[in-house]
Amino acid sequence: MILVNKLKQSSYQIAVVTVVLVVILGFWKPHVLVEGLQRACLYAVIALPMALILGIVGIINLAHGDYMMLGAYFAYWLNVYTGMDPLVAILPALAAFFLIGVASYRAIIKHVLGTPELNQLLLTFGLAIILEQLANLLWTSRPIKLPLKYVSSSATIGSFTFGTYEFIYVAAAVVVLAGLLLFLKRTPTGQAAMAVGQNPRGAKLVGIHVDRTYLLIFSLSIALVGALGAIFMTRHSIFPLVGAPFTMKSFCLIAMAGIGNLMGILWCSLILGLAENFVLTFRGYGGWADILFFALIVLVIMVRSHQRQVK
Amino acid sequence: MKTSRILLYLIVLAILFTLPFYTGVYVLNVMDIILIYMALALSWDMLLRSGQISFGMAGFFGVGGYAAVLLFLNTGVHPLLSIALGGLAAGLLAWLIGSAVLQLRGMYFAIVTLALAEIFRVIVRNLPDLTGGPEGTVLSQAIFAGNSTYTYWLVLTASAISVAVSEVFRHTRVHFALTSIRNDEIVAKSSGIDVFKYLVFLFAVTSAIQGITGGAYAHIYGFVSPEGSFSVDFTLLPIAMALLGGMHSTWGPVVGAVVLGVVSEFLKLQIPYGHLMVYGIIIVVAILFFPQGIMGALGQRWTKTGTG
């Protein structure tokens, strides 16, 4: 109960800080606000499935961003061979990556559950390399971008013009977060998954099929992140290593929010997204935006270890 | 038993030392690569023995390289001294980072180190006045004017140092401390081991080895660049080597480095793009099917004498 209160408190604090920052930014640099929001939602929607796997299956998937990269190439493939629009390809990507998730779980992940964390980290690291190099072999490392007209739509308020297409990330984040929360809190399967996440042994005792739950959650998460790849590739150019930074940023967000806190991920990604876009506005110093997440994660780890010592 | 083993080491060392007198330049170049990766694989395994996993080899390798080259260019110190100072710089940096993040271990530490290469790359790229920016920095002349015998002796020294450090760690109380931290941290703590201090120390020492190796590499090839010096190769290959050879020992990574070092020469020719995939497969297969590696599979006799 104390833990629950503490979690609520910390996410409440984060929320207040975020709101204050947002108001200040809105007046000072509206570009940062809008683009930061869009970027933040992209981060959040990638981090959410990873958090789900970490929270319930209890494994840190270092190949997470690479599944998104494969999803992006999958949508590209469909576009090349059938002319399908990447946004329509979300549906086949969901199905295909659910199956890929099932295969990955059955063939690889399942065998390291319950082994030392070290083995899991090494295994998913190896998996990440395999996926990246597979893409390298199949599509080479040349960046690919589809010429889509609708992605450059924009809107103007007063003298302030901004891209509107990227709000698709906001929509995606809201849909995925709401869907996951509904699934976990309201459906029997989701509640069972929560129970497994809290205590796999206890869940087994009350008759929940733990292995099947792991399979479902893992595959669902891979399906989500693969489908997201289809959205991602409409706006960004893709190459085999495009997903890797997202793995680390996602972990940074999960560590900030606390494992198991899905709502907190949204707030934390707002902080990261806004901060990155804020740095990007300084001409000549934009390159430094890429190390913000690292500074954040080190800060979070220091704060958390300090809290633990005080406790 | 003990003296015969020392004699064996001396003979092997003598053979390795005199290698340039009866082989050609190509063999020496392959040996350079094998020895460099051997030092990295050993340094990775040394930290692994405490149960901490680092993906930061490429980061400290690159830092050592940059530090050595920049010190050499800006202060004019002797290249060998600059390599040692590069290792010192990497060790100090690791000590700082370790002090900050080793309080929370396991995956937190692993992910922080995984990000290191990328972070250092961004920093180097964004300081063009100091580091040459995205193009990197080229030395006017490689160390020893490119003499392959001397460069071979240089990397042989670097990897002999890492073998020696690894053996010292294995046969002193450090070994018991690390093993007990790996097996059960609470037990280790209640036995009076300062877990945090040991881990920071170990992280700094292993990173210094990576820095020295990076400095040697940079001086041998005469350049540093954000993409080349922090390449994922320097993280991926050592891990694959240590896993293939067998974790938690000195000779596992050594054997793995020799085997994979030779194999990688062929792979580079056969699959120019995507040959790294093979190392990913080796890691996955090793974790799933033979976590003890080649040395473990060679028989219990070796491991029994090895873990003593």
CB-closest option in B126, B271, B273 to A140: B273
CA atoms B182, B185, B188, B192: torsion sign: positive
Put simply, the answer to whether A298 touches B112 (Cβ < 8 Å) is: yes
Q: Does the ipTM surpass 0.85? A: yes
Q: Report the C-alpha gap between B154 and B148 in whole angstroms.
A: 10
Closest residue in B to A131 (Cα) is B277
Beta bridge partners of B250: none
Place of tokens 């020295």: B212
Global pTM value = 0.89
Q: What is the pLDDT of residues B262-285, one digit of tens each?
A: 888 888 888 777 788 889 999 999
* CA dist A228 → A39, A56, A91, A171, B149 (Å): 14, 21, 10, 12, 53
pLDDT band at A225 (very low <50, low <70, confident <90, very high): very high
Percentage of chain A modeled with pLDDT above 70: 95
Task: Map residue A215 onto helix, strand or coil.
Answer: helix
Give B188-197 contacts, CB < 8 A, sequence gap 24+.
B196/B102, B196/B103
CATH class of the A2-22+29-310 domain in this structure: mainly alpha
Establish if A272 touches chain B: CB-CB under 8 angstroms: no
Closest residue in A to B116 (Cα) is A294
Chain B residues 37-56 within an 8 A CB cutoff of chain A: 48, 51, 53, 55
pLDDT at B307: 46
Q: What is the pLDDT of residues A146-196, one digit of tens each?
A: 888 777 777 877 777 788 888 899 999 999 999 999 999 999 999 999 888
Closest residue in B to A109 (Cα) is B288
Closest residue in B to A107 (Cα) is B288
Chain A residues 177-236 within an 8 A CB cutoff of chain B: none
Q: How far is A109 from chain B (nearest CA, A)?
A: 9
The 10 Å CB-count burial string (b at 16+, else e) for B178-216 is bbbbbeebeebeeeebebbebbbebbbbbbbbbbbbbbb
Token code pair at residue A286: 């934009």
Closest C-alpha among B228, B209, B196, B197 to residue B90: B209
Chain B residues near residue A297 by CB distance under 8 angstroms: 111-112, 115
Q: What is the pLDDT of residues B13-71, one digit of tens each?
A: 888 888 888 888 888 888 999 999 999 999 999 998 888 889 989 999 999 999 999 99
DSSP E strand stretches across A25-144: none
Which 8-state DSSP code applies to residue B137?
E
Establish if A103 touches chain B: CB-CB under 8 angstroms: no
Pick the CATH number of B2-307 from 3.40.1710, 1.10.3470, 1.20.58, 2.60.120: 1.10.3470
CB-closest option in B51, B108, B274 to A136: B274
Q: Report the C-alpha gap between B117 and B115 in whole angstroms.
A: 6
Q: In terms of DSSP bridges, do strands A160-163 and B137-138 run parallel, antiparallel, or are they unpaired?
A: unpaired
Closest C-alpha among B144, B203, B213, B132 to residue B169: B203
Establish if B178 touches chain A: CB-CB under 8 angstroms: no
Closest residue in B to A128 (Cα) is B280
What's chain B's average pLDDT? 86
Closest residue in B to A284 (Cα) is B126
Q: What is the pLDDT of residues B170-227, one digit of tens each?
A: 888 888 888 888 888 888 888 888 888 889 999 999 999 999 999 999 999 888 998 8
Q: What is the pLDDT of residues A106-129, one digit of tens each?
A: 999 998 888 888 889 999 999 999
pLDDT at A83: 85
Residues 6+ apart with CB under 8 A from B86: B63, B64, B65, B66, B67, B68, B69, B71, B211, B212, B214, B215, B218
Establish if A19 touches chain B: CB-CB under 8 angstroms: no
Put simply, the answer to whether A297 touches B119 (Cβ < 8 Å) is: no
Full DSSP string of B228-254? HHT-THHHHHHHHHHHHH-SSSSHHHH
pLDDT at B300: 56
**Contact yes or no for A295/A53 (Cβ under 8 A):** no
Put simply, the answer to whether B119 touches A294 (Cβ < 8 Å) is: yes
**Contact yes or no for B257/B41 (Cβ under 8 A):** yes
Chain A residues near residue B236 by CB distance under 8 angstroms: 129
CB-closest option in A111, A291, A301 to B108: A301
Q: Report the C-alpha gap between A63 and A46 in whole angstroms.
A: 12
Q: Report the C-alpha gap between B236 and B283 in whole angstroms.
A: 9
pLDDT at A1: 45
- Comparing A48-57, A250-259, B89-98, the range with the smallest average pLDDT is A250-259
Q: Report the C-alpha gap between B43 and B54 in whole angstroms.
A: 10
CB pairs under 8 A between A and B: 123
pLDDT band at A296 (very low <50, low <70, confident <90, very high): confident
**Cβ–Cβ contacts within 10 Å for residue B72, how many?**
24
CA angle B247–B249–B253, rounded 5-degree value: 65
